[in-house]
Structure 1
Amino acid sequence: MKSIKKFKIFLANDIEKEAKWLTEMSSKGLHFFKYKSFFYYFEVDNEKSYIYQLDFQDAGEEYFELYKHSGWEHIETVISQYHYFRADKNAIGDKRIYSDPSSIKNMYQRMLYFYITIFVCMLVAQTGLFLTWNHTLFSKIALAFVTGVILLYIYLFIRLMRKMRNHEKRI
Structure 2
Amino acid sequence: MELKKMHRFFSLADFKDEEHFLMEQHRSGWKFLGTGGYTYRFEACQPEEYIYQLDYNDEENDESGYLAIYEDYGWEYIMKLNSFYYFRKKKSEIEEENQIFSDNTSKAECCKKILKRQVILLTTFFTVLLCCFIIPLTNGGANWSSLAFRTVMTIFLCIYVLLFLLHMRNFRKLNQMIAALRNPLEREE
Question: What is the rounded CA distance, in whole Å, between the counterparts of 1:47 and 1:12 in structure 2?
Answer: 28
Please state if 1:96 is matched with 2:99.
Answer: yes
Question: Which consecutive unaligned segments of at least 5 residues does structure 1 have?
Answer: none
Task: Provide closer, same or farther for how the CA distance between residues 169 and 43 of structure 1 changes in structure 2, counting only shifts above 3 A.
Answer: closer
Residue by residue, what CA displacement relative to the aligned partner does 1:48-97 show, whole Å, maximum 9, x if unpaired?
44211112231432332222222112212123x12211112248755212
- Select 1:148's aligned residue among 128, 136, 158: 158
**Identical positions, percent:** 25
Instruction: Name 2:170's counterpart in structure 1.
Output: 160
The residue identity in structure 2 corresponding to 1:75 is I
Larger mean Cα displacement after TM superposition, 39-48 or 114-123: 114-123
1:51-62 map, 5 Å:
51-59=51-59, 60=61, 61=63, 62=65
The 1:36–1:165 alpha-carbon spacing in structure 2 relative to 1, beyond 3 Å, is: closer
Distance 1:29 1:66 in 2: 28
After superposition, residues 124-139 of structure 1 pair within 5 angstroms as 126-127=132-133, 130=137, 131-139=141-149
Aligned residue for 2:86? 84
Equivalent-residue separation in structure 2 for 1:24 and 1:90 (angstroms): 16
- Letter of the aligned partner of 1:119 in structure 2? F
RMSD over equivalenced CA pairs, Å: 2.8
CA distance in 2, matches of 1:137, 1:72: 56
* Aligned amino acid, residue 129 of structure 2: L
Residues of 1 paired with 2:72 and 2:3: CA distance? Answer: 28
Q: 1:51 to 1:98 in 2, by over 3 A?
A: same
Q: Is the 8 A contact 1:71 1:92 kept in 2?
A: no
- 3-state SS in 2 of match to 1:160: helix
TM-score w.r.t. structure 2 length?
Answer: 0.73
**Residue in structure 1 matched with residue 29 of structure 2 by the alignment:** 29
SS of structure 1 residue aligned to 2:161: helix
Unaligned runs of 5+ in 2: 183-189
TM superposition shift of 1:15: 1.1
2:111 to 83, 102, 105: 105
Deviations 1:103-134 (A, max 9, x none): 24323323323422442453355248754444
> Aligned residue pairs: how many?
170
Matched, 1:67 2:77: no
Question: Relative to structure 1, is the Cα distance of residues 134 and 22 closer, same or farther in structure 2, using a 3 angstrom cutoff?
Answer: same
